[in-house]
Amino acid sequence: MNDSHYCPHTPEEIQEMLSAIGVASVEELFAPIPAALRATTFNLPPGMSEFETFGRMQAIAGENRQGMINFIGGGFYDHIIPAAVDHLSGRAEFYTAYTPYQPECSQGTLQALFEYQTAICRLTGLDVSNASLYDGGTACAEAAMMALRVTGRNKIVIDGCVSPFSRQVLKTYLFNLDVQVVEIAPLNGLLNRAELAALLDESVAAVLVQNPNFFGSVEDFTALADQVHGAGALLIGSVYPIALGMLKSPGETGIDIAVGDGQCLGNPLSFGGPSFGFIAAKKSFIRNMPGRIVGETVDRNGKRGYVLTLQAREQHIKRHKATSNICSNQGLCALRGLIFLSAVGKEGLADLAQLNRDKAEYAKAQLAALPGVSVLQSAATFNEFTLLLPKKADDLVTLLLARGIAAGVPLGSYYAGAENCLVVTVTEKRTKKEIDLFVKELEVALCN
Amino acid sequence: MQLIYEQSVPGRRGVRLPASDVPPAAALPATLLRAERAGLAEVSELDLVRHFTNLSRRNFSVDTNFYPLGSCTMKYNAKVLENSAALFAPYHPMTALLPGGVELCQGTLGMLYDLGQMLAEITGMDEVTTQPLAGAHGEMTGIMLVAAYHAARGNRAKKKYVVVPDSSHGTNPASAAIAGYEIITVPTAPYGDMDLELFKKAMTDEVAAVMMTCPNTLGLFNPHIKEISDIAHSHDALMYYDGANLNAIMGKVKPGDVGFDVVHVNLHKTFGTPHGGGGPGSGPVGVKKALIPFLPQPRIVRGDDGTLQLEVTNPGSIGRTANFFGNFGVMVKAYAYMIMLGGGGLIQVSEQAVLNANYIKEKLKAYYDLPYDMTCMHECVFSASKQLAHGVHAIDIAKFLIDKGYHPPTVYFPMIVKEAIMIEPTETESKAVMDAFIEVMIEAALTAESNPQALHDAPLTMPISRLDETKAAREQNVCCVG
């Protein structure tokens, strides 16, 4: 019986192949595995048809609550995805290829990655980008490790306003290395600059900030960059690409290494992945960058072409001395990011950013007008802001979930004493009608 | 081909955005704003579609070409897997982390849990975390679990080394280094596996883990694997299984039965999810019971009432290794693949993968040097040493294959084989495809003798010829200026 119809051989072909090999059965080919080690059980369900498989997957998807109206972010954002993104990234020549080790038959992937790197450089205002990392959290960790290599120092200072998930990932990555990680507790949803100033000394390799931060606050870190550089350290900025349609770029700010999550650029929410992480830096740090980098060159006839370059940094050459262990990255998601940015375009990204801010400001004003509700930060915000509620945010969120609204991310689990704080995200996809409904439902919940 | 930026025309757009239905917000202070718009492309939707469609046509891929890239398991990626992943596009990961949110995510959490259970059965492990985002990320997570295990037993300072064979993937030592370990590399013996005597000498109580790929990167199953794991355990070292080559052994042998304590699985290799031109992959990690307390958070557990819950407060955990639940969309595809093939189908996958590799090995060994001439598993490693006598390198043979419409095998890996040519056909290729490939490989070997220059000149049929890699590394043009 042919359990896997993806294995195409007929019994006759199998016989011919066995004869050519000189064995009597397929089982004989497994003789190198000592008999005593052979599996005695393999308790997996029997297979099914393609039709039944898809039906099962539909049923599983159906077990999740359908049609939630999302006012949640926390690193993943519900943005529009132009139809062309799915269709073009769905070209099998892209998605069934692998790492472009053989450039002559991989120019499609290589040129696309070069264009992606260009988009990231232009978005961040920095000189060099790699061909993607896993996600925003691991990109923070890779940037920190990069700063440790560049400076030869051993302390990383993190603003507590950085996503708690990214901070946790960074700490997991650095836990076994001889590195000290110091966190600064937020001050009203902003970086506590006085505490940072007190911490900056010659042991600090880098300071990690996020803009907009987890509370949604937008800060200008230009003066901070000078201060950090004055101490001989690097400034790492985790940024939100959609916001870069409007906000001061890392390059303009003086940030040395910019990182972030590229999910918002044409990648579906998909329960948290796959997305991609990006990393861009000043040119002088290129040899300390992690992961694949595509470079431009010429062929034997002087024709322009693209190759993986500076591979001497990487694990397949340098092994334990590599700049990172990363091998497979998130190439297809980065391609989606490039297609998204190219579809939206130069003017479109600015408009998209404006639309996000307009919607969020509208929602902020409506919500803050509810009795007992105020906005935590006096600082500017982009498409997220933190509400200070008269009740526990957890309870209100639970009530609104039952009404089909994911009202925001309650901060009580992430910050001490923040039980009444709720981070609300409003993207361009949320309509005025949905926002008004949210305001109404919150008002009802507050009265309960 | 032009870059997309070279096709830009100011003001052109590839998508229309929704009109605003709210009043415009007050402007932000200038100090917070960027001075100029980011220099993204400005193209029409048709320009965009043509550009990327034409770019895609400059790729070889599994769907267009035989792609026997050794160690990467470039099997066919079933189309229904793509359709399945699309079903899950709207689900926000934060929903599960909201108070009361897990109840709304029972489908997605349940699928992750069931996928973990199936992977545990295949690998002989007790629990699996799906959080790691790729194979190397799984390795790093796995070795961090090892480090946490030793630390919990008061041996953090004592355990300093991770042992790897010299045939290992470069990611193994690189991942172990992030987990804080120094590396001891053990050479390969003439019989094609890690030298057992040298391994014994390398083993001390200071070794934290031994990382093995089994079958190894030569495509050989290590007959001493149980002895190696017994020796490792006698020194209180854990056994790490690099699952890159799991495609060879499903249902035949379970790493857990052989003494492995931690495994990572490459879903994009063994479980039929596409490689995406360099990811996304997915690298779930399975562990034996003793390591469960250290698994990453949030950990998905099944409650007494059968519902799925998230454990988020375990002080022993190594923490988070990624922001959410891993590359979920990739796991959807792997899960669909596994339930579709079932246990019987997965066994057949391994059997035919091994059959195909041995067939190619037998057919080509008269033409290419086979340094380890024995029954292989899912891949075989030749050397172009015979051809080198005529001045032809493995890379020249690779480029000749490109002209003939084949993606080349992996070349120059494993590093222990001079001029290595590592061929992994996978189970999804037909005999006819392999026979045609074999003919071309023979033609390459004969051409190496009769006309080596023809191989040096290849490829001639691609949009570009061989590229100047030195120039790329020297000039470091990694972003389009202007």
What confidence tens digit (pLDDT) does each residue in A153-179 have? 999 999 999 999 999 999 999 999 999
| Cα A134 to Cα A138, A224, A237, A352, distances in angstroms | 6, 28, 17, 25
Over pLDDT 90: what percentage of chain A? 96
d(CA A102, CA B86): 30
Q: Report the b/e string of B262-283 with b at 16+ CB within 10 A.
A: bbbbbbbbbbbbbbbbbbbbbb
> Tell me: the pLDDT tens digits for A405-442?
999 999 999 999 999 999 999 999 999 999 999 999 99
| CB within 8 Å of A336: residues ≥ 6 apart | A85, A89, A265, A266, A267
Cβ-defined contact of B326 to A245 (cutoff 8 Å):
no
What number of H helices and E strands is found in chain A? 14, 15
What phi, psi does A203 have (nearest 5°)? -95, -10
Contact B351, A46 (CB under 8 A): no
Domains of chain B and any CATH numbers: 1-15+38-58 (no CATH), 82-339 (3.40.640.10)
Contact A210, A238 (CB under 8 A): yes
Chain A residues with CB under 8 Å of B61 CB are: 92-97
DSSP letter, residue B412: S
* DSSP collapsed to 3 states, A342-369: HHHHHHHHHHHHHHHHHHHHHHHHHHHC
d(CA A403, CA A400): 5
B411 residue type, one letter = V
Contact B51, B4 (CB under 8 A): yes
Residue-level pLDDT at A1: 46
User: Does residue B215 have a cis bond before it (omega within 30 degrees)?
Assistant: yes
Q: CA quadruple A87, A89, A90, A91: dihedral positive or negative?
A: positive
Chain A residues with CB under 8 Å of B53 CB are: 88, 91
In CATH, the number for domain A69-78+347-447 is 3.90.1150.10
| CB within 8 Å of A91: residues ≥ 6 apart | B52, B53, B56
Please determine, for residue A2, whether its predicted confidence score (pLDDT) is greater than 60.
no
Beta partners for B301?
Answer: B309
Query: What mean pLDDT value characterizes chain A?
Result: 97
When mean pLDDT is compared across B280-289, B459-468, B473-482, the lowest value belongs to: B473-482
Cβ-defined contact of B58 to A107 (cutoff 8 Å):
yes
Contact A185, A194 (CB under 8 A): no
Confidence tier at B314 by pLDDT (50, 70, 90): confident
Please determine, for residue B162, whether its predicted confidence score (pLDDT) is greater than 80.
yes
Chain B residues with CB under 8 Å of A347 CB are: 11, 13, 37, 42
Q: How many residues does chain B have?
A: 482
A315 to chain B, closest Cα gap in Å? 5
Contact A149, A205 (CB under 8 A): no
Confidence tier at B129 by pLDDT (50, 70, 90): very high
A398 to chain B, closest Cα gap in Å? 6
Contact A339, B52 (CB under 8 A): yes
Confidence tier at B300 by pLDDT (50, 70, 90): very high
d(CA A235, CA A228): 6
Instruction: Compute CA B242 distance to the chain's CA centroid, rounded to the nearest angstrom.
Output: 10
Rg of chain B (C-alpha set): 25
A201 to chain B, closest Cα gap in Å? 25
| CB within 8 Å of B134: residues ≥ 6 apart | A134, A326, A327, A328, A329, B266, B268, B279, B280, B281, B282, B283, B327
Beta partners for A182?
Answer: A157
Residue-level pLDDT at B482: 67
Provide the strand spans (E) within A202-327.
204-211, 234-239, 257-261, 277-281, 294-298, 304-308
Beta partners for A405?
Answer: A69
d(CA B420, CA B413): 6
Supply B36's token pair.
């100029």
Which of A60, A80, A402 lies closest to B107 in CB terms? A60
A142 residue type, one letter = E
Contact B153, B290 (CB under 8 A): no
Query: In the block, which residue shows the tokens 């043979």?
Result: B397
| CB within 8 Å of B422: residues ≥ 6 apart | B70, B71, B217, B219, B379, B380, B381, B382, B409, B410, B411, B413, B414
Contact A240, A216 (CB under 8 A): no
Nearest CA in chain B to A315: B170
Which of B55, B121, B178 lies closest to A112 in CB terms? B55
Chain A residues with CB under 8 Å of B377 CB are: 32
Contact B322, B344 (CB under 8 A): no
Contact A71, A405 (CB under 8 A): yes
Contact A137, A143 (CB under 8 A): no
Rg of chain A (C-alpha set): 25
Strand B285-287 relative to strand B262-265, pairing: antiparallel
d(CA A127, CA A256): 10
Chain A residues with CB under 8 Å of B372 CB are: none
Provide the strand spans (E) within A118-275.
128-129, 155-159, 180-184, 204-211, 234-239, 257-261
Cβ-defined contact of B279 to A74 (cutoff 8 Å):
no
- What CATH architecture is A83-340? 3-Layer(aba) Sandwich (3.40)
d(CA A69, CA A90): 27
Query: In the block, which residue shows the tokens 């080509």?
Result: B364
When mean pLDDT is compared across A79-88, A309-318, A426-435, B447-456, the lowest value belongs to: A309-318
User: Does residue B173 have a cis bond before it (omega within 30 degrees)?
Assistant: no
- Residues B94-104, mean pLDDT to the nearest whole number: 97
Would the ipTM clear 0.85, i.e. be above it? yes
Which of B1, B34, B348 lies closest to A7 in CB terms? B348
Nearest to A396 by CA among A442, A350, A336, A358: A442
> Residue ranges of the domains in chain A?
69-78+347-447, 83-340
> Tell me: the pLDDT tens digits for A232-249?
999 999 999 999 999 999
Q: How many CB atoms lie within 10 A of CB A231?
A: 15
A338 residue type, one letter = L
Query: In the block, which residue shows the tokens 């883990």?
Result: B209
Supply B150's token pair.
């030793």
Contact A367, A424 (CB under 8 A): yes
> Tell me: the pLDDT tens digits for B37-69?
999 999 999 999 999 999 999 999 999 999 999
Query: In the block, which residue shows the tokens 């897997």?
Result: B81
Rounded-to-10 torsion of CA B162, B168, B170, B173: 0
Cβ-defined contact of A53 to B345 (cutoff 8 Å):
no
Nearest to A400 by CA among A432, A360, A446: A446
Cβ-defined contact of A115 to B4 (cutoff 8 Å):
yes
> Tell me: the pLDDT tens digits for A372-392?
999 999 999 999 999 999 999
d(CA A37, CA B258): 6
| CB within 8 Å of A263: residues ≥ 6 apart | A75, A76, A77, A135, A136, A269, A273, A275, A276, A333
* DSSP collapsed to 3 states, B351-394: HHHHHHHHHHHHHHCCCCECCCCCCCCCCEEEECHHHHCCCCCH
d(CA B329, CA B345): 22
B389 to chain A, closest Cα gap in Å? 24
- Residues A135-143, mean pLDDT to the nearest whole number: 98
- Three-class SS state of A23: coil
Chain B residues with CB under 8 Å of A178 CB are: 180
| CB within 8 Å of A194: residues ≥ 6 apart | none
Contact B34, A247 (CB under 8 A): yes
Over pLDDT 90: what percentage of chain B? 99
Residue-level pLDDT at B388: 98
B101 to chain A, closest Cα gap in Å? 8
